[in-house]
């Protein structure tokens, strides 16, 4: 089991290794598997990349992202320009249902609202706008409300977990209550935890996933 100092060092090394992140202005602290990121980044995409890089490190159980986006002057755009760029990005993304998403922008912070059938569509909408110039943050309030009734969803998710090469589906318990899926058990890394959640979200009719999977020491 890693000490806090070892985990801190590993996260710092990963941030320095990640080419899309400037680690020079990022502070890292670790306590009992919980890593906190502080400091400044030059855009929201870098903030997101830093958090993802941290999650990849073995031993990380949770991430507290306190990074602030400090846009350089040449990246600043007015809200109207950002809103139009966001609408264009959503329209051109084939994974985002046409005219399903509404966009609001306040001081560079984008809020997405609307309804879609699948989690991947919700994620695609956020991915489409987070790298735009001038964006300081994204709030994804898109809801997943498929009208399709669940049918054998527990079995379908369990089979998907067993098919995943990087997962041991036998250690994951799947519970279904209406349109909500709860995952319990143990996995070996944050990446495995995310993969299990992705599998659960892939079932049509799932509106909510409560990921209670614990990362083994």
Question: Which fold is adopted by the domain 153-215?
Answer: 3.30.1340
Q: What digits encode the pLDDT tens for the residues 121-159?
A: 999 999 999 999 999 999 999 998 876 666 788 888 999
Architecture of domain 4-69: 2-Layer Sandwich (3.30)
Q: What is the pLDDT of residue 2?
A: 85
Q: What is the pLDDT of residue 169?
A: 64
Cβ-proximal residues to 166 (8 Å cutoff; 6+ apart), any chain: 191, 192, 195
Beta bridge partners of 105: 110
pTM recorded for the entire structure? 0.74
Minimal CA–CA distance to 214: which of 61, 36, 64, 2? 61
CB of 115 closer than 8 Å to CB of 68: no
Each domain of the chain, given as residue ranges in start order, spans: 4-69, 75-144, 153-215
Measured over the CA atoms of residue 211, residue 96, residue 114 and residue 179, the dihedral's sign is negative
**Tokens at 72, concatenated:** 């350089």
Question: Which fold is adopted by the domain 75-144?
Answer: 3.30.1340
Rg (C-alpha) for the chain, rounded Å, is 19
Cβ-proximal residues to 84 (8 Å cutoff; 6+ apart), any chain: none
CA angle at 187 for the pair 161 and 174, rounded to the nearest 5°: 45
- 3-state helix, strand, coil split of the chain in percent (to 5) is 40, 30, 35
Measured over the CA atoms of residue 13, residue 18, residue 19 and residue 23, the dihedral's sign is negative
Q: What is the pLDDT of residue 133?
A: 94
CA dihedral (194, 209, 139, 215) in degrees, to 10, reads -30
Fold match, 4-69 / 75-144: yes
Q: What digits encode the pLDDT tens for the residues 11-57?
A: 999 999 999 999 999 999 999 999 999 999 999 999 999 999 999 99
Which residue is it, tokens 């400090």?
A: 70
């Amino acid at each position: 089991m890693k000490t806090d100092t070892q985990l801190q060092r590993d996260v710092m090394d990963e941030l320095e290794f990640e080419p899309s992140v400037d680690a020079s202005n990022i502070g890292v602290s670790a306590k009992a598997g919980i890593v906190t990121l502080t400091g400044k980044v030059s855009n929201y995409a870098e903030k997101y990349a830093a958090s993802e890089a941290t999650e990849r490190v073995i031993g990380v159980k949770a991430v507290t992202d306190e990074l602030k986006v400090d846009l350089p002057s040449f990246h600043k755009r007015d809200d109207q320009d950002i809103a139009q760029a966001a609408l264009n990005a959503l329209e051109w993304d084939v994974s985002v249902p046409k005219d399903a998403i509404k966009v609001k922008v306040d001081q560079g912070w984008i809020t997405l609202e609307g309804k879609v059938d699948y989690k991947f569509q919700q994620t695609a909408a956020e991915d489409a706008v987070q790298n735009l110039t001038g964006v300081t943050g994204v709030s994804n309030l898109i809801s997943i409300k498929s009208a399709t009734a669940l049918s054998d969803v527990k079995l379908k998710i369990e089979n998907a977990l067993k098919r995943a090469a990087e997962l041991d589906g036998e250690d994951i318990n799947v519970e279904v209550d209406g349109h909500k899926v709860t995952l319990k058990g143990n996995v070996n890394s944050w990446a495995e935890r995310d993969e299990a959640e992705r599998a659960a979200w892939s079932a049509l009719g799932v509106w909510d996933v409560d990921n209670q999977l614990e990362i083994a020491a």
